Chain A
Amino acid sequence: MPGKPNIVQWIKVGVTLLALVVLWELACRIFAIAPFLLPSPSAIVSRMIEKPMLFWIHGWYTLYETFAGFILAVAVGLVSAAIIVVVPSVRDVLMPILLIAQLVPKVAIAPILLVWFGYGVVPKIVIAFLVAFFPIVVNLANGLVSVEKELLDLGRSLEASRWQVFWKFRMPAALPDLFSGMKIAITLAVIGAIIGEFVGGDRGLGYLIIIANQELDTPLAFASLVVISLGGIVLYALIEVLERIVIPGRQPLQQPQVSS
């Protein structure tokens, strides 16, 4: 996406989305599609209005898991990346291991985590953490080592301490990468939490979808999906706002490099 989207662009996006929803609604009505196959947008919305508390309660639960896993991933990711970069001998061993570990499908671990941590909130947070951790640590570590060689020479010529080099040279240089990682991580954390709820539990929007499926209540499943998506968009936007506040200067904003 070249350049920042402007207002005109946003209006175009909004109008297009609205047109798609209208088409969907019309298709459902004209062809009389059964709601358990594909509910119309109006049916989904009315389902949401019917029992708003249902979505609030389960939504908060999922949000809590997502956020806890994400914050944990940021905290552990920051410390790991810092150690990887500051202690080169650790980097040589840990970086390949991290890259290999990234290939393990974390979602497949979910049932095992259930065995270890029970059916409560913990396994969901752990899964959210696991999927969110890798993009943060890999992006941040890359950012921390990507400082220009000449800048590091400048630091050496001024006899800067390791601590100064880390905070004044490496960390600011890596902030855009950290935020790239966080943007990927937050969307993955939502997926992680939902997967956890799919596998076992009695609360959360993922659980709601499972129940809706069992009862062939497709409008409920779609309504849950809408709430999850809206939540994801809000979380992503929050990180983008934070990025604009934290990173000074008019640098071109980086788009995340990896998606899953």
Chain B
Amino acid sequence: MSAEASISVTGLRKVYATRDGPLTSLDGVTFDIRPREFVSVLGPSGSGKTTVLKIVAGLENKTSGDVRVDGAEVTGPQRKIGIVFQVPALMRWRTALENILLPSEILGIDKGAAREKGLETLDLVGLRDFANRYPNELSGGMQQRISIARALAHDPSILLLDEPFSALDMMTRNQLNIELLRIWSERKKTSLLITHSIPEAVFLSDRVVVLGPRPAKVLEIVKIDLPRPRMPEMRVSKEFIEIVDHIGRRIGLEYA
């Protein structure tokens, strides 16, 4: 099973050297993500969940364990991965479209084709009309949508989202959850979302990996049996609330 998994993380440990001695951030984290599956890693602040994403992305080194993407050991960054960060991280000197075209420029993709793809991706995130606007002319939510479009523009097979909505207000966040759900259902990338919002994780994911406090281990992997396509109304359904409550108790118990 693990061989055909798009992402597999087995016994992942991360220990930081600090002044007060070694600090264990991740203590044997194991989970996998199948092709085209949407999985969230959920955990309290400081649980090292972002570290999981960075190691999968090849941006940070692990201490021990086995991390594979498409069966191959991760040794560094790879272009089949698109990343959305906590902050939009847009270039203020580039327009929305130019920001989206950045990856294809670096990858040396033909300009005309890239532009067409870029506009298509802008359409996907619903910001075609804002192609020529600069980031400081866009709202925080719009900026994060541009950043999602940038991550998708060069058509990577994997999408990593590092708490992409944590800096946004609740209303914008809910709206972008629905937006991301729609985008994902159109593009069906193998996706890993890092979040500390239980409803967000439940609403978007096929499975939720629940991390405990530091040193983080996997408390439980919760399969979300809500039908797809998911509708905003589902968030007030009995099943949804039961799952949210279950995960909440699971995390809460560990802190009691």
Contacts and interface: CB of A to CB of B under 8 A. Distances in A.
B93 A247 contact: yes
A248 B102 CA distance: 16
A154 B79 contact: no
A153 B93 contact: no
A145 interface: no
A50 interface: no
Contacts of A247: 93
B81 to A, nearest CB: 6
A160 B154 CA distance: 14
A247 B93 CA distance: 7
B59 A157 contact: yes
B91 A158 contact: no
Interface residues of A, number: 22
Q: Interface residues of A: mostly helix, strand, loop or mixed?
A: helix
Contacts of B136: 249-251
A148 interface: yes
A164 B106 contact: yes
Interface residues of B, number: 27
B93 A155 contact: no
Interface in B53-77: 57-59, 76-77
Contacts of A157: 57-59, 77, 79, 81, 83
B134 interface: yes
A148 B87 CA distance: 10
Interface string A163-193: 0100011001101000000000000000000
B92 interface: yes
B123 interface: no
Contacts of A249: 92-95, 134, 136
Interface of A: 148, 150-151, 153-160, 164, 168-169, 172-173, 175, 247-251
Interface of B: 57-59, 76-79, 81, 83, 85-87, 89, 91-95, 102-103, 105-107, 134, 136-137, 154
Given A158-B154, A248-B93, A250-B134, 8 more contacts: A148-B87, A148-B89, A153-B59, A154-B83, A157-B79, A158-B106, A168-B102, A251-B93
Closest 9 CB pairs of A and B: A150-B89, A150-B85, A249-B134, A157-B77, A158-B106, A160-B106, A172-B93, A151-B89, A156-B77
